[in-house]
Structure 1
Amino acid sequence: MKNAILGLTFLIYPVLVYFGLQYVKPSYLAAFFALIFAYRYFSQDKRKGKIPHLNILFISVTSLLAFSMLANSAIALKFYPVVVNVSFLVIFAYSLWKPPSVVEVIASLQEELDQQGIIYTRNVTKVWCVFFSVNAMIATWTIFQEDQSYWLIYNGLVSYVLMGLLMLIEFGVRKYVKHNKSKVASS
């Protein structure tokens, strides 16, 4: 339950930053998020099947939050979604270069993969790399808009909807591929 609440805090990060900046200094918000992020990172069970190389995300995010805290920078706080997307892009892309791919690691927790499954998960990892690239670019664009509600709406809602749609589409494609594979195998 505690980890769910901590995770939710980062899901609603854009809302907390958008409204929080109206009442407190950026350095206080950055310190708050840095403490929560560090607590969540260090309290996780590292032995569970996790995405490899999450240290990249931890170092990137804590560096950004530390900079925001020291510089008292609201704009640095708004780079959080960009840093998260770029970190995941690096993690996923690196896993293509040094297998297993991130999606393969996650999928192998649910089922044993054959060679076709490994190829499929590599392709899905590539799709996620494209998603993280585009999402980071749009998130960056929103930071520099005069109307900061663009930043809030995109990073606090639209990007999550797009991520959910991508997951849903991938789930449908995976079921379709598995169904066709089982039809061919039974023929």
Structure 2
Amino acid sequence: MARLFGLLLLIAGVLYPFAVYYGLEHWSPRVFAALLGGLWLARALTARRRPGGLWLAVAALVFCLLLGVANEPALLRWYPVLLNLMLLALFGLSLKFGPPLVERMARLREPELPDVAVRYTRTVTKVWALFFLGNTVLLMALAMWAPLSWWTLYTGFISYGLIGLLFAGEWLIRQQVRKHE
């Protein structure tokens, strides 16, 4: 059940910019708050307890509560900012309290990582943290000053393209690092 709610949150996150762009004419921000809040609450109640998992859900639920109470359309643009801040915190805090998030993921496939791989995964975690920091700043600027169409274009297409480029670039670099091991 937890996977279902996780998948639904992922789909909602991907479709969110388009729902905001097209849905503002038909729905109040309270509808968005109720739908997102319901998904996050279901996720919090059914997910395995992982470090940080509960505070991520609590932050999202607080946002949904604020959105529902304020019923302010401009707040809808801040949900992607919140998601990026959560990802920045996840990657950044893993650097401080370790092991770095990318190292944890790498150890799922290869439990005994060589020292060079541990250093590499730490660097990749830093790159992702920097990406989410820059993306958050840009999303904040778009939320405050850009027309809704620009915000939708960036949050619905461009940011995902940048994430894909970062994934692809990292994969290419990893292949080169592995060749030289």
TM-score (norm 2): 0.90
**Stretches of 4+ moved more than 4 A in 1?**
none
Q: Which residue of 1 aligns with 2:80?
A: 81
| Aligned equivalents of 1:160, 1:146: Cα separation in 2 | 19
Instruction: After TM superposition, give the deviation of residue 127 of structure 1 in Å.
Output: 0.3
Letter of the structure 1 residue corresponding to residue 42 of structure 2: Y
Q: Which residue of 2 aligns with 1:160?
A: 160
Q: Which residue of 2 aligns with 1:94?
A: 93
Q: Which segment is superposed worse, 122-131 or 2-11?
A: 2-11
Q: Which residue of 1 aligns with 2:10?
A: 7
Q: Which residue of 2 aligns with 1:180?
A: 180
Greater helix share, structure number:
2
| Aligned equivalents of 2:146, 2:93: Cα separation in 1 | 35
Q: Secondary structure at the match of 1:24?
A: coil
Paired residues of 1:56 and 1:91 also in contact (CA < 8 A): no
| Aligned equivalents of 2:76, 2:45: Cα separation in 1 | 22
Q: Which segment is superposed worse, 3-12 or 76-85?
A: 3-12
Q: Which residue of 2 aligns with 1:117?
A: 117
**CA gap 1:56/1:108 in 2 versus in 1, 3 angstroms:** same
TM-score (norm 1): 0.87
Question: Which sections of structure 2, spanning at least 5 residues, go unmatched?
Answer: none
1:52-77 residue CA offsets vs partner (Å, 9 max, x unmatched): 42333222221111100111122222
Paired residues of 1:68 and 1:77 also in contact (CA < 8 A): yes
| Aligned equivalents of 2:68, 2:151: Cα separation in 1 | 20
Q: Secondary structure at the match of 1:100?
A: coil
| Aligned equivalents of 1:2, 1:94: Cα separation in 2 | 27
Q: Which residue of 2 aligns with 1:36?
A: 39
Letter of the structure 2 residue corresponding to residue 90 of structure 1: A
**CA gap 1:41/1:15 in 2 versus in 1, 3 angstroms:** farther
1:79-122 residue CA offsets vs partner (Å, 9 max, x unmatched): 01111111111121111111101111111111121221111111
Q: Secondary structure at the match of 1:163?
A: helix
1:128-155 residue CA offsets vs partner (Å, 9 max, x unmatched): 1110011001111111235210110101
Identity rate, percent: 32
Paired residues of 2:78 and 2:143 also in contact (CA < 8 A): yes
Instruction: After TM superposition, give the deviation of residue 27 of structure 1 in Å.
Output: 1.1
Question: Which sections of structure 1, spanning at least 5 residues, go unmatched?
Answer: 182-187
Q: How many pairs does the alignment contain? A: 177
